[in-house]
Structure formats: structure tokens, C-alpha cells
Amino acid sequence: MPGWIRWIIYIVLLIGLVGAIIWGYQEQQEKNAILIKAENNYQRAFHDLTYRMDELDEKISTVLAMNAPSNISPQMANIWKITSEAKADVSQLPLSLLPFNQTQQLLNQIGDFAYDVSIRDLNDQPLNDQELQALSELKDQSNQMKSDLRQVQDQVLTDGVRWMDIEVSVATNDQRDDEVLNGLQVVEEDAGQFDGLSQLNDSANNENSIELTGESYNQSDIEQVVKDYFELNEQTELTITENGEGSEVPIYNVSFNTDSFHGYAEVTKQGGNVLSYLLNRDVGESTKSLHDGRLVAETLLEDLDYNQVEMVESKQYEKTGVYKFVHVHDDTYYYPDEIQVKVALDDGQVTGLTARDFILNENKREEREFEPTLSEEEAIDYIHEQIDVQTTRLAVIETEENGEVLAYEVLGTIDGTTYRVYINANDGFEERVERLTQSEEVY
């Protein structure tokens, strides 16, 4: 081989090697940038949550010192706002480390209670002794949770803890004794200890008790249900806890780890129904379309015998498709009876299901009686005149003030922006207006 050809080959190989190095470096830089962004989001969410628990403790203490209804109402509205923000913070934490179920449930209870108090006439219905006692206990509880979070925060800041490192250690089943994880576990256990607000609703829960069919399951039964449902190895260890007394429906919280994912599920004590589950794992590059994921979700619901449901919305979050289905009867869409399915678009695996509302509302369906007073044409007259109406259908939605109401669901546009408007089918009241973004609506 002539020397000049060898030189050309060497030069080509050298250029290829340099190109590969540059490409690898750029790939590594992009990966590092994504990891840094994720870490920053985790850090921000945790520190924001700690700050909001401080705020919550302060606001609750302030309410206990108030006497004038005109002061209490806005303060309770602030508490509701803080709990909403705190719930958003919790949802952005790496929950594969520790599902904050008890904490989220407590924040939900506080938010619902604060909202109900903030909108009622406290001159006619002042806080009663039981509510004041619950607030006093909640103050002690929030103070303890605040202290626990502060200790975890101090550990994070002192040791320069990276949430990504902890998440990797958990994902690889590294059973090291981690003080941050232990601290978060204490916060979660503290949240589960408080049932003062649940007790306020005991009588309401008894009046609206949810009756589920089937036999009563103990923890051993539930363990087998979960292993069969997820086709787990018999040697897989499950952590099972039961929710507290006075809950709307008795359920078991189940968590487990496999080589592929960390799993969490809610299963009813009566009947052994899987209300929801989540499989946390790394999702690879997408090979499936949003439509492919929809077909997977529909097949799952058919296999689970969820009949008379239709998809009303689909959204893609990075490499995952999320699909919302609702119960449909006599061409009326019942939004309170909702099912959500989460599908990984790398291989089409279902990684999440939330069927709680659909299952718990099953007995309610036979009792519902809705009949529109207004015609479709009359309802459209209540729509803003600038909206170009595209489609209309009947739907049942849930409102804060009146519970479930029948409405005309109207889809229309203004200057290329799509809106969904709900007009009460009996009096024409505009119940709700939603701006739709990045979603596929199915009509």
C-alpha cells in the first residue's frame, strides 16, 4: 500500500476519533446539564416545602389567637393557599425515595378544611369547640413536622447532600443507613399520627359511607393480591400499612422493589380492589407515539373490565403519556368517575393507574338522576359571544358549592386558543372555564 494512502487513512481515523471525543464530550455535558437541572428542582422543592411548613405553623397559631370572623376567613384562605403550594412541592420531590402518602393526605385534609371554613359565614357558623380543638392539635403537629423538616434540611446543607445520589442508591437497593431518608420517614410517620381533622368528618363519612362489594382482606391476602397483580416473584418483599380509622374507605398502602422499578399501590380492604399504583423507573428514549400509548391504556382498561369509559384527554410529559378516561352513560360524560393511566413511551409499559374515583363512585351511579332543563341551543346563548363554538355535549362535573351538577360542556376557540366551558344545564350558570393547552381532546 502506497505511503500516501496510509497517511490518508490515518488522517481519516484521527478525524473520526476527534469527532467521537467531541460528540462524547457534548453528550456528557448535556447529560450533566439535565442532572443538574433535576437536582436543582429537587433542592428547590424540598427547601420550599420546609419554608411552607414554617408558614403553615405560623398561620395556624395566628388563627387560634383570633376572635373576629372577618380576620379568620382570610387567614384560613391563606392556609388553604399554603397547603396547595406545599402539595405541589411534595409532588416534585423524588418520591421513589419515599412515597409521601400520609403527608399528602394530611395536606389535603388541612386544605379542604381551611377552604370550607374560609367560604362559610363565620358570623352564623363560627368555629365550634371540636374544630378549635382540632386546630390546636394540628398546631402541635405542624410544629413537630416543621422541626423534623428543619433537621433534615440542616443535614442536607451541612453535608452537601445530593438528592440524585440518594435516589440512585435507593434504585440500586443500596441499604445504607441514610440520615436524610430516616428523617423523611419520621416526617411521614408524624403526618400519619394526626387524625383530628378526620374525626371532624366522621359523622359525614358515616352518612356517606362507601360500601364496596367482596370479602374483607387481611394483610396476608393483600400481599398475594399485589404479587399476582404485578406478577411479582414470591420472594419479593412487600411493605404494607393500613390507613387510619375514620377514613372514607379502609385501604392498604403497599410498596415494593424489583430489579426494574420501585412500586407503590393502594388496595381496598373490602374486595381487594387496586385503587391506584405507580411504578417508578427510568424511561428510555421514546419509540411509541402518544396514540400507541392510548391503545395500550384502552387495552388495560378492557382487561380490567372497566366498561363504559371513554378517553377525554391525553398529554405527553417528556417520554410518558398520561390518559384520562371518564364513565359515559346515555351520552353523558361523568367527570367525577375518572380513571387516569400512565404509559411509558419507550416500551409501552403501563407505569401508573388511578381508578380511585371510578371505583368508589360505583354505588352512586344507580342513584344519579340528571335531566337538563335547558336545550343545547339555549345553553350556547350563555357562552361568551367571542367564542366560536365547535362541539357541545352533556357532562356531569363536581363543584365546590353544589357537588355534582349537570352541565353542557362546550368546546370553542378565540383567536386560535381553545377553551372548554361548562354551562349549568338547568340555570345557565357558567360553572367553569378552562383554557386547553398541549392536549388531544376526543369528541
Host H or E run for residue 420: strand 417-424
Better-scored residue on pLDDT, 375 or 88: 375
What pLDDT is attached to residue 86?
A: 83
Q: At what angle do helices 129-159 and 179-193 cross, to 10 degrees?
A: 180
User: How many other CB atoms are there within 10 angstroms of residue 388's CB atom?
Assistant: 11
High-pLDDT (> 90) share of the chain, %: 23
Q: In CATH, what is the architecture of 376-441?
A: Roll (3.10)
Of 22-31, 226-235, 330-339, which gets the smallest average pLDDT? 22-31
Host H or E run for residue 440: strand 440-441
- Residue whose C-alpha cell is 390518559: 323
46: pLDDT strictly greater than 60: yes
Q: Please, which pLDDT band fits residue 127 given cuts at 50, 70 and 90?
A: confident
High-pLDDT (> 70) share of the chain, %: 79
Instruction: Report, as an integer, the average pLDDT of 405-414.
Output: 94
Instruction: Report, as an integer, the average pLDDT of 59-65.
Output: 85
What CATH topology corresponds to 282-367?
Nuclear Transport Factor 2; Chain: A, (3.10.450)
Instruction: Report, as an integer, the average pLDDT of 115-121.
Output: 75
C-alpha dist (Å) from residue 269 to 212, 224, 240 = 9, 13, 12
201: pLDDT strictly greater than 60: no
What pLDDT is attached to residue 205?
A: 44
What pLDDT is attached to residue 443?
A: 40
What pLDDT is attached to residue 177?
A: 45
What pLDDT is attached to residue 136?
A: 83
How do the domains of the chain map onto residue ranges? 28-200, 282-367, 376-441
pLDDT, one tens digit per residue, over 277-321 is 888 888 888 899 999 999 999 999 998 888 889 999 888 877 889
Better-scored residue on pLDDT, 336 or 260: 336
Of 30-39, 232-241, 250-259, 392-401, which gets the smallest average pLDDT? 30-39
Of the candidates 342, 334, 340, the one whose C-alpha atom is nearest the C-alpha of residue 362 is 334
Mean pLDDT in the chain? Answer: 80
CA distance 145 to 148: 5
Q: Please, which pLDDT band fits residue 75 given cuts at 50, 70 and 90?
A: confident
